[in-house]
Structure 1
């Protein structure tokens, strides 16, 4: 009796007709690409999500699945290059673009593509560009000028970036809260310019790991001038010494509100 009752109450997780249909489009994408432009936004959203997760997005099909009210665009495992980014229409609702490269460096996107992206998306708030090795200071400057609401920015591994990028962020990005500048060419002077900017009062997370030019001065500036900083990562920075750890301890002792969530460093 108990077994029969359990079987009667069993709910089978069957895919909906909508899920089956969108999966069918992806299985024969080449046959459906031309009709993607005519589909309703809700269908484009579902297809775009699947194409993003499976790495199917290219310069040729990207515009066919975009729609004006799109808020998030994941290009992290796509084949999109500068060519695709330079063709983007005005996307006023787009708030997040993920161009992180997870496994190896991405050389398909350069400053030219990023500049086109930020001009097409004036309300961009989150931009991830990790390991996009052809991105330069010029792109960061244009981003800061064109996207005033930027609050999360990841350029870890973009090794062409210098203090000029931090100067631009300090000058223009007044809403910036999270910043990853690991493995770049920044120096203490760049950190000083960032901390002198208005974003210093909002910065909660800074990752500057593997920045080989930084010294204790960079850490001291951040902990003194960024009162709400909660995550600070400076591992593999060979010029940073034990003095930075001492400065952090002094901050904890001098302020009841100086509670860090994560601190990471390497002692040489």
Structure 2
């Protein structure tokens, strides 16, 4: 009671008076003539009658929360280090919000000097601390429900004393309003060392957020914007004007972004090395041409997808893209054959090494030949869904592009077996890798109809999901490509043992990686041949879905393949005996083994699996219904170094 009576503070009051406060609250009657003020706080004041003075005395627990924000900010700015700031931020959301509203440069990082020696080293210590904070070592990624303004504020406060935030990726959700400009502003104020910023699927981030980034994060080097519908030219222009180190920018599905943004990037970003623009309806020739023709000698990567540009932009690329090494053009429906033809004949893409064209009507036989002649150093070509490219264009391109090393054709249905084989047998061919995916025009032809010379340079051949490619074509490829190391024939339901056996016999260099998944007609005979001819070099074998492969194949692999480290036997007809045979084999480095869907494997395979587990780092036992849960638990316990899927 004496403590209550003797309490003195700024909230003491007297009986009969009406209490007022700066904070909002409410009044209630204690006696007929006395009113007590109770502020709207979580902890209510406790009032009792004063038995000595005949007046009421109020007790209120002291709290720092009664201080105005200005005082709190003064206190926070004098916290000695990052640990103390983080501890203060954990007190309440209000404190966290206040701390995140302070710029990193406004905190007093160094304690006051105590003497002459401290004073002499003050500037040096401060500079060292600033250097540490601006290095930008840390990387943070927030996604989905975890992407909130509160979490971004915590990141802004917590990372400043641990090397500084250098890379931030935010992936939001359209259904949740988690991240707004408030969170991005907190990052801007607290993370001046930010160099990489990725904003994906954030419908409530607008130009205001980018204004704050531009104002504080002058070291920004990479900006990635995807599905941010409120961001317009104003925000990107601000970034371009304030971030001269910007080297890479990606703008995708930002419907308010137009030519003005690209013009500002061309004007203010001399270090730009990479630009990618996709599905931005207001970006046209004016914006693309300004970036390409800006005279930059460091712009090496250009990716344009789904834009309303015309032949003019593509022609500008051909004339001024002298430093471009990687070029991707996709979904450019307004670019005709003339545009691609000019791009090739302009002779400006002399250092271009990688070209990818997808769903472009202007990609024809004539334009493809022109690009082959004009791009002397082209090494990698990818054509997807180019429905007007036929055998003539492919063969002409192969003859013109003497440096070509890698060719990928996907859904190019006018290209046939003749075009592929003639391209491979070109006299100046340096092709090392060929991939054919879903090319419906490829069908078996008679071997006598072609006279071809071998392609000694080809090391990797991938033919996937081409239903017309059969055993006769495969036998012909074997004779044409004797130096293969990698072979991928996944999804070729039409091939049989008769087609693969001659190919294995013709491969002189020794196959290292073979993918035969979903080749449902293959039997053990193919595996016997593979083990006999290439067992000493084989490192990877995928037989997923080859239901005619049995335990006999495993016995052959166990005896002949010492280098095998990745084996997929999913949905094959193997049993406990096959697993046992494999465990007794010569494999010294088997690391990945998949037995998914092998219903004949049971608990009896546990000793063999434990023996194999000495080297395994990955084991897939999903859908092996004959293996009990207790066996899986025992394997998990014994093979603690191996990642087991069950």
Task: Pick the TM interval, shorter chain.
Answer: 0.7 to 0.9
The 5 Å alignment of 1:162-201 reads 162-172=284-294, 173-197=296-320, 200-201=321-322
Tell me the equivalent position of 1:257.
403
Give deviations 1:177-208, integer Å, cap 9, x for gaps. 111221111111111123222xx222122222
* Paired residue secondary structure (1:234): strand
For the pair 1:121 / 2:243, whether they are aligned, the reply is: yes
Q: Structure 1 residues 163, 259: CA separation in 2 closer, same or farther (over 3 Å shift)?
A: farther
* Paired residue secondary structure (2:182): coil
Alignment gaps of 5+ in structure 1: 1-17
Give deviations 1:216-242, integer Å, cap 9, x for gaps. 233334444312323333322234333
Q: What is the Cα deviation at residue 44 of structure 1?
A: 8.6
Q: Structure 1 residues 143, 30: CA separation in 2 closer, same or farther (over 3 Å shift)?
A: farther
- In 2, Cα distance between equivalents of 1:44 and 1:59: 24
Tell me the equivalent position of 1:205.
326
- In 1, Cα distance between equivalents of 2:223 and 2:200: 9
Tell me the equivalent position of 1:7.
none
Whichever of the two has the greater Rg, that structure is 2
CA contact (8 A) 2:309 2:332 kept: yes
Q: Structure 1 residues 260, 169: CA separation in 2 closer, same or farther (over 3 Å shift)?
A: farther
CA contact (8 A) 1:230 1:260 kept: no
- In 1, Cα distance between equivalents of 2:273 and 2:256: 22
Q: Structure 1 residues 211, 255: CA separation in 2 closer, same or farther (over 3 Å shift)?
A: closer
Q: What is the Cα deviation at residue 126 of structure 1?
A: 0.6
Tell me the equivalent position of 2:146.
none
Tell me the equivalent position of 1:132.
254
Q: 1:73 pairs with 197, 203, 228, which one? A: 197
Segment of structure 1 superposing worse, 241-250 or 182-191? 241-250
Q: What is the Cα deviation at residue 138 of structure 1?
A: 1.3
Q: What is the Cα deviation at residue 69 of structure 1?
A: 2.3
Q: What is the Cα deviation at residue 47 of structure 1?
A: 10
Q: Structure 1 residues 226, 207: CA separation in 2 closer, same or farther (over 3 Å shift)?
A: same
Q: 1:244 pairs with 367, 370, 393, which one? A: 367
Tell me the equivalent position of 2:20.
none
* Paired residue secondary structure (1:181): strand
CA contact (8 A) 1:115 1:139 kept: yes
Tell me the equivalent position of 1:99.
225
* Paired residue secondary structure (2:292): helix
Tell me the equivalent position of 2:209.
84
Give deviations 1:1-30, integer Å, cap 9, x for gaps. xxxxxxxxxxxxxxxxx9xxx9xx89x867
Tell me the equivalent position of 2:351.
228
Q: Structure 1 residues 212, 147: CA separation in 2 closer, same or farther (over 3 Å shift)?
A: same
For the pair 1:155 / 2:277, whether they are aligned, the reply is: yes
Q: Hey, which of these two has a bigger chunk of helix by percent?
A: 1
Tell me the equivalent position of 1:41.
160
Q: Structure 1 residues 251, 34: CA separation in 2 closer, same or farther (over 3 Å shift)?
A: farther
Q: What is the Cα deviation at residue 209 of structure 1?
A: 1.2
Q: Structure 1 residues 46, 143: CA separation in 2 closer, same or farther (over 3 Å shift)?
A: closer
- In 2, Cα distance between equivalents of 1:123 and 1:113: 17
TM-score (normalised: structure 2): 0.33
- In 1, Cα distance between equivalents of 2:273 and 2:329: 17
- In 1, Cα distance between equivalents of 2:248 and 2:336: 28
Give deviations 1:231-266, integer Å, cap 9, x for gaps. 333322234333334444545433533445667786
- In 1, Cα distance between equivalents of 2:162 and 2:205: 21
Q: Structure 1 residues 143, 29: CA separation in 2 closer, same or farther (over 3 Å shift)?
A: farther
TM-score (normalised: structure 1): 0.74
Q: What is the Cα deviation at residue 90 of structure 1?
A: 4.8
Q: CA RMSD in A?
A: 3.3
- Structure 1 segments, 4+ long, off by >6 Å, are none
Q: Structure 1 residues 46, 146: CA separation in 2 closer, same or farther (over 3 Å shift)?
A: closer
Q: Structure 1 residues 186, 128: CA separation in 2 closer, same or farther (over 3 Å shift)?
A: same
Tell me the equivalent position of 1:60.
182
CA contact (8 A) 1:234 1:265 kept: no
Alignment gaps of 5+ in structure 2: 1-81, 105-156, 373-393, 415-646
- In 1, Cα distance between equivalents of 2:269 and 2:166: 28
Greater relative CO, 1 or 2 (CA 8 Å, sep 6+): 1
